Amino acid sequence: MLKKYFSQFIDCHHGIFNKILHLIGFGMIGAGIFNKNLSFVIAGALIQELGHFYQYSKTRKLKDSPWHCLRPQLLFAYPILALITLYVLIG
């Protein structure tokens, strides 16, 4: 089951512009971690999510839908984002 969700998680990250937005988002999250700036972390996460919405608006395929990708992101991405947020807030 975990393998299925991981595969689905990977499938949610197709498209050049989606990948570019994710790289920008990772950069902002990294800057937020380095500077302990929660605004950068949140902005980076939002930019990454915009990549999912853009990809879905471009393809209209179910596999690209942000709602279809929600469950695997809840398992893999959001726990890491929660830990990063706690680190920035507490650290």
Task: Between 91 and 2, name the one with better pLDDT.
Answer: 2
* Predicted pLDDT at 91: 81
Tell me the mean pLDDT in the region 36-57.
Answer: 96
* Predicted pLDDT at 79: 97
Structure token pair of residue 61: 């395929």
> Which residue type sits at 47?
I
Task: Between 20 and 1, name the one with better pLDDT.
Answer: 20
Tell me the mean pLDDT in the region 15-24.
Answer: 96
HSE (side-chain half, CA atoms, 13 Å) at 35: 11
* Number of C-beta neighbours around residue 45 at 10 A: 20
What region, left, alpha or beta, does residue 61 occupy, with left being phi > 0 and alpha being psi -120 to 50 degrees? beta
Q: What is the pTM of this model?
A: 0.90
Tell me the mean pLDDT in the region 51-76.
Answer: 92
